[in-house]
Amino acid sequence: MTETTLEKNLFSRIFSIVKQAIKGDESFDYTSGSIKKGVILLAIPMVLEMLMESVFALVDLYFVGHLEQSSYAIQAVGLTESVITIVYSIAIGISMAATAVVARRIGEKDPVAATKAGMQAIIIALVINTIISIFGFIYAKDILLFMGASVEAAEYGVNFTRIMMGGSLCIMLLFLINGIFRGAGNAAIAMKSLWLANICNIILCPILINGFGPIPAFGLMGAAMATTIGRSIGVLYQLYHLFNGRGILKIIPSYFIPDLEQIKALVKIAAPGVLQFVIASCSWIFLAQLVATTGGDHGSAGYQTALRIMMFFILPAWGLSNAAATLVGQNLGAKKVERAEKSVFTTAKYNVIFMAIITVITLVFSRSLISFFTNDLIIQKIAVEALQTMCLGYVFYGIGMVLINTFNGAGDTWTPTMINFFGFWLFQIPLAYLLSKYYKMGPTGVFIAIPIAETAITLASIILYKRGKWKRIKV
C-alpha cells in the first residue's frame, strides 16, 4: 500500500468519525468500543456546544460594546452574567446529577430507568428556577448595586437584568436537558440545540439592539431579549427530540409524575454539585465586586471584557472535559473501572494540548482580541492586562476540568465541592483581597490571584483522584 493510499484512508477514517460525532450516534457502545474514538465522538459535539455557549456572551459583548455609553452597558452585561452564574451553577449541578444517573443506567443497559431519572431532574429544575426568576426580576436594580455598579450604571442596565433573570428558566433547561442527552451518549443533540439558539441570537441581537424597519431600537434591553428568545428556541428543539421517541430515551407522560424516591436520589447527587458550582460562581461574583470597587466603571468593564473572552476559550475545554463524565459514568455502570481510568487519561491529554495552544494564542493576540470588542482605550488597557495574566493558568485549568468532571461523572460530587470551597473561599478570595486592598494593587491583584488559585485547585484534584474514592461511589 502506497503512502498516498495510507494518507487517504487515514483522512477518510477521521472524516467518518467527525461526521459520526456531529450527526450523533447512540449505537456506539462507550463501555466496549475504542476509548480514543469514544472521546472524539463525545468531545467534538461537546466542544462545539460549549463554543456556542461562549459565543452568546461574546455576541452580546460586541454589540453593547459599541453602544454610546459602552462602559455602563459592558458593566451591566458583565455583572448580570456574574449573578446569573448562580443559575448556571444550579443548572449544571442538576445536570451533573442527571448525567451521572442517566450514564450509569445506560451502562447497566436500562434505558427506561435512565429516561425516568432525566424527567424527574426536569421537575426539580422547574420548581427551583421559578423562585429565582421571580426574585431576580423584582430585585434587578438592587442586584446591580450590590455587585458594585454605580447608580447610573444600575439605572442604565436594570431592564437588561430583569429580562435575563426573568428568562433564566431557558438557561436552566438548556443545560439540564443537554446533560440528559450527554448521559445517554448523544452529545450531538446537545450541540445542535446550542447552535440553533446561537444562530437565532446572532440574527436577533443587531435587529433588537439597533432596530430594523418597523422594529424599534431597544438598545441594551434588545441584547437580553435576543439572548432569551434564542435560548428558548434551543429548548424547544431539545423537547422535540425528547418527545419524538426515536432515540434511546423514550418519554411517556407518566414519567413526569413526581417520584419522591428518584427525586431524593437525584437531589443527593445534585445538592453538593449545585453547592460546588455556587461556591465557584459566588467567588467570581466577589471578584467582580472587588474589581468594581477598586477599579471603578472602567476597571469593571475591562475585567468583564477579558472574562468574556477567557470564557470563550475555556468553555470549549470544559466541553471536551465533559467527555470524561459520560465515559466514567457508563464504564462504572458496566463495572469496567480500569477502562474508566484510561478514559480520564486520554481526555486530560487532549485537553492539555488544546489549552496550551490557547495560551499561546491569548498571549500573542490579546490586544487585537480586546480591541475588536471595545473602542475605549482605558477599558482595552485593563482588559489586556487581565487576559494575559489569567491565561497563565490555562493548562492547569484544562487538567482540573477533566478531574472535576471525572468526580461528578462517577457521582462523587462532594469531593469537587470541598476542593472548590477550600480553593476559592479559603485561598482565592483572601489572596485577591490581600493583593488588591492591603498591597494596593487594585484590579491587578485580582487578576494575579485567579491563575494561582486555579493551579492550587488542580494540584489538590490530582491528589484526590489518585486516592480513588470516586471508583467506589454507588448511584
- What is the spatial distance between Cα 436 and Cα 444, in angstroms, rounded to a whole number? 7
Q: Is residue 28 assigned to a domain? A: no
- pLDDT mean over 82-103: 80
* Tens digits of residue pLDDT in 282-302: 888 889 889 988 888 788 888
Q: Rounded distance, CA 419 to CA 426, Å?
A: 10
Grid cell at residue 364: 500573542
pLDDT at 335: 86
In a domain, 9, yes or no: no
Q: Return d(Cα 371, Cα 368) in angstroms, integer.
A: 5
Residue 129 included in any domain: yes
pLDDT at position 459 is: 95
Predicted pLDDT at 232: 93
Determine the Cα angle at 190 with ends 187 and 193, to 5°. Answer: 150
Ranking 15-24, 41-50, 253-262, 450-459 by mean pLDDT, the lowest is: 15-24
In a domain, 201, yes or no: yes
Domain count, the chain: 1
Specify the pLDDT at position 455. Answer: 94
| pLDDT of res. 25 | 61
Give the bridge partners for 215, in sequence order: 212
Per-residue pLDDT averaged across 409-438, rounded?
Answer: 92
Pick the residue with more confidence: 446 or 112?
446
Domain that holds residue 467: 33-472
Q: Residue 26: its pLDDT value, please? A: 60
Report, as an integer, the average pLDDT of 442-462: 94
Ranges 36-50, 210-224, 292-306, 339-353, most confident: 339-353
Contact predicate 76/160, CB 8 Å: yes
The Cα–Cα gap between 175 and 35 comes to: 25
Residue 2 has pLDDT above 80, yes or no: no
* Average confidence score pLDDT of the chain: 84
Q: What pLDDT, in 10s, does the model give residues 222-235?
A: 888 998 999 899 99
Separation of alpha carbons 424 and 85, rounded Å: 15
Residue 58 Cα distances to 65, 166, 251, 321, 339, angstroms: 10, 21, 35, 22, 38
User: What pLDDT score does 90 carry?
Assistant: 82
Question: Which band of pLDDT confidence, cut at 50, 70 and 90, is reported for residue 444?
Answer: very high
d(C-alpha 363, C-alpha 373), whole Å: 17
Q: Provide mean pLDDT across the span 51-55.
A: 70
Residue 245: the pLDDT is 63
- pLDDT of the residue at 452: 95
Report pLDDT for 448: 95
Is residue 382 in a domain? yes
In a domain, 18, yes or no: no
Q: Quick check: is 386 in a domain? A: yes
How far are the Cα atoms of 84, 127, 279, 320, 364 from residue 132, in angstroms, in the given order? 10, 9, 17, 30, 41
Q: What's the average model confidence in pLDDT over 369-389?
A: 88
pLDDT of residue 5: 60
Question: DSSP class of residue 53?
Answer: H
Q: What is the per-residue pLDDT across 240-273, written as a single tens digit (0 to 9) for each?
A: 888 876 677 777 778 888 888 888 888 888 888 7
Question: 21 in a domain, yes or no?
Answer: no
pLDDT at 428: 94
The Cα–Cα gap between 208 and 226 comes to 7
Q: Does the pLDDT value for residue 127 go beyond 80? A: yes
pLDDT at 152 (0 to 100): 81
Least confident of 32-41, 232-241, 328-337: 32-41
